[in-house]
């Protein structure tokens, strides 16, 4: 492990077993916990959230590059959300074939036609990267995606540094333990929510967390909630079906749920088709979008995070549309882009199909979906594209260069899993929070980071999907 944990320590099975026991207890002590899958809606039984035994090495330069560019990405997402012409043009081919994106876009059009009720915009996003290993041995930062809705693990990521510090101390690696950075995205995300709540201007109004049916990851939310309660900001948790039953707008379009006025709707649900279990769910999404409540994200910011928009941004000249007089900002953002290719109908899309079919192992095929576990790799790319290459269905996807990170060895600690060394790949996420009121950006910050690591045998999937585990960067 380059400048990380020495190989002889990783191979010392007696020490590893002892450290694993210490690590699991430390995770519980520090609150790195989840409910168990057998009872996802009860806190009677909890377990540690899956995590790495040791922190993983991350080059200092690329780590700081990811942090530095985050406020630019915040601005970019916000500018895209305000550019209806760009969104209409960018998503035209996608909404023709992808029903989920079309339903979101119908809500967007409806809100635009009626006129936005609220001038306060709140964005809590997470930009995800991998390190592409170059042939000369150096690494470059490449963006996988930007999550503009329900960006998770800000809460648990705030608790993992203390766990890894303790493990390294017990392992006799005192110097390494001091290299683990403080990290508190929970406080930063809460700061954005608090700012929006305050600007809304009613002390009695609540921040509503819109949550999923299954709540294994509730403690990740609770850390953000608790930060709000510390500021004496009331929060409630409701599901789509709860808002269906008791949600309403008054004559001023103020949103009420269970008789309580809602200042901010914080979506931790609503990012996948299966989150909309009935027509009522779609009606409720429209109701909330039409309301005076601040939405995190509002529908245009949700659409700004789609894969198709990501691919359009990589086209020559598009970033300049949003930053016309800021070449340095354009350069910093563009430096993180991997190769992205359109599958729209026409010569350019045909060329992308041919390229993917010729060398499928060089690419990843991405549908317009969030939540992990949706991407397509290798020979499966050929199977999918052979089936849709002559049809407009192919425009539901984008093609992206496959990133080649350098693997490291580590132990992935999971409930009921055997303790064995794995060849691992890591993904770095950076959290951003911004608040705009009318034309004034009143907050724009990078508020923390998240490292997730998985065995190299898994191509795709996050922590919530049961593939990746929580980690910390050990800067080298």
Model's pTM, two decimal places? Answer: 0.94
Of the candidates 4, 31, 125, 145, the residue annotated as catalytic is 145
Of the candidates 56, 93, 125, 152, the residue annotated as catalytic is 152
Determine whether the annotation assigns residue 250 to a binding site.
no
Please indicate whether residue 307 is annotated as part of the active site: yes
Q: What is the pLDDT of residue 459?
A: 60
Please indicate whether residue 60 is annotated as part of the active site: no
Task: Round to whole Å and give the CA distance between 351 and 329.
Answer: 30
Give 52's pLDDT tier (boundaries 50, 70, 90). Answer: very high
Task: Round to whole Å and give the CA distance between 69 and 430.
Answer: 9
Determine whether the annotation assigns residue 460 to a binding site.
yes
Q: What is the pLDDT of residues 381-407, one digit of tens each?
A: 999 999 988 999 998 898 999 999 989
Determine whether the annotation assigns residue 328 to a binding site.
no
Determine whether the annotation assigns residue 463 to a binding site.
yes
Q: What is the pLDDT of residue 460?
A: 55
Please indicate whether residue 126 is annotated as part of the active site: yes
Say yes or no to pLDDT of 462 above 60.
no
Please indicate whether residue 289 is annotated as part of the active site: no
Q: What is the pLDDT of residues 91-112, one digit of tens each?
A: 999 999 999 999 999 999 999 9
Q: What is the pLDDT of residues 400-455, one digit of tens each?
A: 999 999 899 999 999 988 999 999 999 999 999 999 999 999 999 999 999 999 99
Q: How many CB atoms lie within 10 A of CB 398?
A: 25
Q: Which of 245-249, 253-257, 368-372 bottoms out in mean pLDDT, i.e. has the lowest?
A: 368-372
Q: What average pLDDT does range 176-183 have in this prediction?
A: 95
Collapsed DSSP state (helix, strand, coil) of residue 29: helix
Of the candidates 24, 35, 126, 239, the residue annotated as catalytic is 126
Determine whether the annotation assigns residue 152 to a binding site.
yes
Ordered by where they begin, the domains of the chain are: 7-338+403-475 (no CATH), 339-402 (3.30.1490.50)
Q: What is the pLDDT of residue 466?
A: 60
Distance, C-alpha 232 to centroid of its chain:
27
Please indicate whether residue 448 is annotated as part of the active site: no
Peptide bond into 57 cis (omega under 30): no
The tokens of 428 are what?
A: 């770095």
Q: What is the pLDDT of residue 464?
A: 57
Task: Round to whole Å and give the CA distance between 261 and 425.
Answer: 45
Q: Which of 181-185, 333-337, 340-344 bottoms out in mean pLDDT, i.e. has the lowest?
A: 340-344
C-alpha distances in angstroms, 37 versus 25, 27, 217, 392? 20, 18, 10, 39
Q: What is the pLDDT of residues 266-323, one digit of tens each?
A: 999 999 999 999 999 999 999 999 999 999 999 999 999 999 999 999 999 999 999 9
Residue 444 β-bridge partners: 434
């Amino acid at each position: 492990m380059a400048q990380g944990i020495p190989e002889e320590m990783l191979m010392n099975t007696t020490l590893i077993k002892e450290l694993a026991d210490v690590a699991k207890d430390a995770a519980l002590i520090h609150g790195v916990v989840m409910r168990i899958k057998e009872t996802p809606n009860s806190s009677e039984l909890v377990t540690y959230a899956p995590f790495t035994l040791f922190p993983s090495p991350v080059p200092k330069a690329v780590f700081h590059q990811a942090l530095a560019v985050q406020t630019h990405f915040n601005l970019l997402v916000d500018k895209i959300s305000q550019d209806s012409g760009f969104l209409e043009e960018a998503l035209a081919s996608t909404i023709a074939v992808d029903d989920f994106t079309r339903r979101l876009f119908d809500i967007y059009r409806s809100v635009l036609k009626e006129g936005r009720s609220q001038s306060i915009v709140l964005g809590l996003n997470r930009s995800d990267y991998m390190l592409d290993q170059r042939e000369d041995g150096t690494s470059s930062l490449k963006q996988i995606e930007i999550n503009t809705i329900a960006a998770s693990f800000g809460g648990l990521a705030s608790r993992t540094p203390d766990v890894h510090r303790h493990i390294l101390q017990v392992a006799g690696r005192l110097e390494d333990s001091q290299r683990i950075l403080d990290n508190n995205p929970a406080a930063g995300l809460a700061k954005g929510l608090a700012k929006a709540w305050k600007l809304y201007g009613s002390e009695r109004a609540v921040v509503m967390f819109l949550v999923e049916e299954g709540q294994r990851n509730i403690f990740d939310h609770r850390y953000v909630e608790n930060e709000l309660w510390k500021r004496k900001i009331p929060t409630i948790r409701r599901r789509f079906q709860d808002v269906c039953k008791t949600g309403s707008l008054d004559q001023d379009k103020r949103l009420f749920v269970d008789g309580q006025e809602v200042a901010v709707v914080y979506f931790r649900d609503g990012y996948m088709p299966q989150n909309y279990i009935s027509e009522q769910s779609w009606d409720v999404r429209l109701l909330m979008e039409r309301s005076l409540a601040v939405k995190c994200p509002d529908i245009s910011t949700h659409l700004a995070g789609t894969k198709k928009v990501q691919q359009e941004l990589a086209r020559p000249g598009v970033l300049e549309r949003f930053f016309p007089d800021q070449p340095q900002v354009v350069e910093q953002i563009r430096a993180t882009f991997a190769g992205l290719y359109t599958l729209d109908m026409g010569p350019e899309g045909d060329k992308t199909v041919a390229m993917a079919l010729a060398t499928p192992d060089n690419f990843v095929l991405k549908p317009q979906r969030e939540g992990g576990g949706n991407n397509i790799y290798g020979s499966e790319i050929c199977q999918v594209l052979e089936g849709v290459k002559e049809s407009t269905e192919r425009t539901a996807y984008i093609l992206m260069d496959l990133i080649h990170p350098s693997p490291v060895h580590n132990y992935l600690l999971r409930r009921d899993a055997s303790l064995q060394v794995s060849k691992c790949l890591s993904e770095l996420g950076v959290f951003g929070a911004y608040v705009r009121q009318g034309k004034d950006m009143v907050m724009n910050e990078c508020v923390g980071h998240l490292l997730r690591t998985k065995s190299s045998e898994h191509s795709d999937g996050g922590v919530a999907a049961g593939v990746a585990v929580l980690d910390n960067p050990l800067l080298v």
